[in-house]
Structure formats: C-alpha cells, structure tokens
A and B are shown apart, each in its own frame.
Chain A
Amino acid sequence: MELVLFDGFNGLIQGAFYALMALGLSLIISLNSVINFAHGGFMVVGAYLAFALAPYLGFWGALIAGPVLTGILGILVERFLVRYLYARPDPVYSLLLTFGLALIIEDSVRSVWGAGGVPFAIPSWLDSPVSETYFFITGYRVFVMSAITLAAGALFAFLRLSRFGVRIRAGILDLETVAALGVNVYLLRAVNFAIGIALAGFAGVLAAGVLQLSPTMGNDVIMATFVAIVVGGIGSLFGSVLGGLLIGLAAGVTSAYYPVASDVVIYVIMAIVLIVRPRGLLGQEGLFE
C-alpha cells in the first residue's frame, strides 16, 4: 500500500510538471498557432539559468529570475523567429523551426554547462520529509505542488479578470475581430508567447530541485506534455491541467504494479481517449466554458 502511495505521489508531482508545461504550450498553440517543439528546451534554459544564478541570487531569487529571463528570451524568439510563421499557416514550417530551435538550445546548453548532469541545491529546510511514515513527502515536493498550483491559479485569474487576459481568450477564438477592435495583436501574441515560455522556465527551475540537471531533461517531458494536451483536449486550458495530472498519476501508479509499462501507459491512455473521445476529455468546450 505504501509503495502505491509512494509511486502515486511521485506520479502526481510528475503530472503537475506536465500540467504546467501543457498550460504554456496550450496557450502558444491556441493564440500563436505554433506547435512549439522547443518547449522542453525552454524548460531546460529555465533550469540552467536558475542553476547559474543561484550562487548570486540564492534559491528564491533564482526561482523568480529564471522564469523571467526565460520569458524575455521567449519575447526575442517570438519577435525574430516565430512572428514570421504567422503568415504561413502550414504547420510544417512551425515544426521545422521549433524542432531546429530545440536542437540549438540543447547543444547551446551542452556547450556552456557540459553534457553531464549538475546538482542544484535547494534550501535544506525544504529538503527534509514532512512526516516519518510518509518519508517520500519532502518539504520540497509539497512546495513544488503548491508553487505549480499557485502558478496555474494565477494564470487562470489573469485570463479571467484582466482585460489583457480577456483579449487573449478572445484572440484564441477570433484574432481578426480582436484586431479590428483596436487591439494590437502583435503585442498580444508576443506577450502570450512569453507567458507560455516563462511557465516552461518556471517548470524548469522547480524541476531542477527534483531531478538532476542535464541538457536533455526537456526531451522526456515534451512528449508527455503533448500527450497531456491531446488527452485533455486541444484548446482547453483546464483540459491541459487535467490531462497532465492524469497521465502523471497513471504512470506513477503503473510503476508500482508493473514498472516496465510505466512509460508506455501514457500512450495507451492517449490511444484510448482518441478512440473513445477524439476531441479529448475537455476538448471543444473551449476556454473556461
């Protein structure tokens, strides 16, 4: 029983990461119409930036600065690369560009910080278990869950309550009409892209404290993130969260009973969802409906 709890909790943490990544990726797919294969790469950038900055800013400073700097990098990438995709609706262009970008990011990280993993220190008081029975629930893991919940909540509040967020939701449905109503859609898309990328950076910093840092750490996450989006329903942000948590939990629980299947189970779930409900669990419902 404890093993199931242990693996289930691990899975839930993993799923929370997928959910956070899927939220950002989903925003970018919906408003920027770009299938961003470099999303995992930006997560790695966030993680390494935090690693590089932590000696100067401390853990908490790095936790803020990492995502912010990753978001700024996102603005530059949108302005000088992604923007040229908007006039080319054929997804092949966006796949080629972002796949190339993912390779560039991976090798850049490798050439700066080396191919091997590097450790990332978290505050020691966060590193101890919160209970003796449930030794696997460390303070840091509770912190990660809370931070991800907070980030997702802040994003939903922003999209619901701020005028800019309302315009993003309107633009996801009909960008032309939003432009004809006087909204600078170039700025709207740039900020939206940056928010999505900053969320990936945030996931990276949090992941740095759980996993060991390596230039390829984004590769495992990006496929699961796409699966989370497909399971949850493309275009639905709530679906992305649900899909992420679901496949994370499923992978965790499976590893308790049948470890070799834990990687494959998420694809089995995706296949079942696609057969039974091709639009995904919350697809078509759209944003916040």
Chain B
Amino acid sequence: MSAVLRAQDLHTYYGKSHILHGVSIEVAEGELVTLLGRNGAGKTTTLRSLVGLTPARQGRVELFGHDTTHWPAHKISRLGVGYVPEGRKIFSNLTVLENLSVPVSRPGRWTIERIFELFPNLGERRSSWGRQLSGGEQEMLAIARALLINPKLLLLDEPSQGLAPLLVREVFRTISSMRKEGISILLVEQNARFGLDVADRVYVMNDGEVVHSGCARELAQDEEQVRAFAGAESRAAVG
C-alpha cells in the first residue's frame, strides 16, 4: 500500500516556543491511524502542521506525493484532505445549512442530501443556528462539513471530547463507516480505549516527539504500556 501521508522530521514552533521536535508519521491508503498522547503532547500541533495552519519550520510533509510543507491550508484541503478541528469549530453565527455551504466541495459522492441521510438530526435542524446545536450535533456537523470536501484523507482532532459515552460510540461508528468507504484516517484521541479499538496502527506522542509506534491491537493488550504512554486520563477508560 502506498502512503497518502508521509511527514518526516517535523519541527513546528508557536512564535519562539518549539513545540514539535522531529515528528515523523505515515498513513497508508485505506489505513486508520490513531495518534495518542497526553494534553500538550503536540498532537493538535501535528495535525495543524499537516493541514497548513501552522506550517513546520523544518521537515517535510508529503500528501498524495506532493510536497505540501509550505502550501496554504486551502490548497492542501483541495487535494482531498478533510479536517475536523479540536473543539469542532463550527460556525455558530451560521445556520446548519450555511455551515455546510462553506467547504469547497471536490467532485464525489458526498452531497448535502447524502449528509442529511447519514445524519438525519442535521437535516431536521438545517435552519437552526450553529450555536443552538448540542455537543453531539456540533460534532456531527463538523464531520459532515469535512466530508463535503469528499476527502481521500480525513484528520480528526479529538472527536469524542466532551461527549456522553453513548454519543462517543456513535461518533466512532461513523468514523469506522468512513473508513469502509475507503477514506484514510488520522485520528487524534485522548480516549485510548476507543482510539485503539478502531485503529490499525498507533503513534504515541509525548513532549513533541513520537515515543512509540506500532500495531494498535498489540498496544491495546498491553495495559501497563498504555497507562505509561497515554497518561492518567486514559486509566479509567482502559482499566
């Protein structure tokens, strides 16, 4: 399988603070890769470097064979990279339907009609303001918005954050079904159990570095190591 995403030795800064210290990550076609780590490990910064929002100062990002390290975000998106940011970042001042008309769609199977079939709640609330939606609906809207790009690669930043367990399961079902559609996925998670359940491979980050990479199933069986890597937050989830 060929790599859709290959990031090599990324060094990313916010102003003068050095956040990523040589991060290397690969996602193969059709693969679901999870990025685990504690708060502040650099997971979000890694995603931001990949989508062009905080470009790496050193290193190289390759997407679908293009060197996109210094490309502007919109150009990267138009290659077929969908991004669901941390905290959803839906447009609270727009209606649901307006939110869905912001992305620049590439030709493909995902249309607003199909989105409303998959997420009937959003269809019913199409005229509601973004800020009137519940947390779960906001998450679905953020995923729907990224799907309308018709992505070949989907990057999700903590889609389970702040959701009730039932909703978390629904979100992960949706992610699994995206994957069955042939979309490659890079998933950032703090919830180690869910993150490992759905993934093929896993990277664990700490202090801006990748400290472990390997098969998700193997890591899932090694509870001691999950605790050591993913920190206190995941203890309850794993144990």
A52-63 interface code vs B (CB 8 A; 1 in, 0 out): 000000000000
Q: Among A182, A183, A286, find the residue whose CB has the most chain B CB atoms closer than 10 A.
A: A182
- Quick one: which of B72, B89, B93, B99 contacts A288, CB cutoff 8 A? B93
CA gap between A180 and B85 in the complex, in Å:
9
Query: Is A95 on the interface with B (CB-CB < 8 A)?
Result: no
Looking across the interface, which residue of chain B has its beta carbon closest to that of A162?
B101
Looking across the interface, which residue of chain B has its beta carbon closest to that of A186?
B72
CA gap between A172 and B92 in the complex, in Å:
11
Counting from the closest, the 4 A-B pairs by CB-CB distance are A182-B104, A182-B77, A179-B73, A181-B103
Looking across the interface, which residue of chain B has its beta carbon closest to that of A166?
B98
Contact (Cβ within 8 A) A176 B93: no
CA gap between A289 and B131 in the complex, in Å:
10
A139-166 interface code vs B (CB 8 A; 1 in, 0 out): 0000000000000000000000001001
Q: Count chain B residues whose beta carbon lies closer than 8 angstroms to a beta carbon of A.
A: 27
Chain A contacts for B73, CB-based, 8 A: 176, 179-180, 185
Query: Is A184 on the interface with B (CB-CB < 8 A)?
Result: yes
CA gap between A181 and B84 in the complex, in Å:
9
Contact (Cβ within 8 A) A170 B94: yes
Contact (Cβ within 8 A) A170 B102: yes
CA gap between A180 and B88 in the complex, in Å:
12
Contact (Cβ within 8 A) A166 B78: no
Contact (Cβ within 8 A) A286 B77: no
Contact (Cβ within 8 A) A169 B104: no
Quote the shortest CB–CB distance from B74 to chain A (angstroms): 5
Query: Is B83 on the interface with A (CB-CB < 8 A)?
Result: yes
Contact (Cβ within 8 A) B91 A174: yes
Contact (Cβ within 8 A) B74 A166: no
Contact (Cβ within 8 A) B83 A180: yes
Query: Is A77 on the interface with B (CB-CB < 8 A)?
Result: no
Chain B contacts for A177, CB-based, 8 A: 85, 89, 91
Chain A contacts for B129, CB-based, 8 A: 289
- Quick one: which of B74, B101, B145, B149 contacts A179, CB cutoff 8 A? B74
Chain B contacts for A286, CB-based, 8 A: 93
Chain A contacts for B53, CB-based, 8 A: 176, 179-180
Query: What are 19 A-B interface contacts by the 8 Å CB criterion?
Result: A166-B102, A167-B102, A170-B99, A170-B102, A172-B93, A174-B89, A176-B53, A176-B73, A176-B85, A179-B53, A180-B52, A180-B83, A181-B74, A182-B77, A182-B78, A182-B103, A182-B105, A184-B72, A184-B74
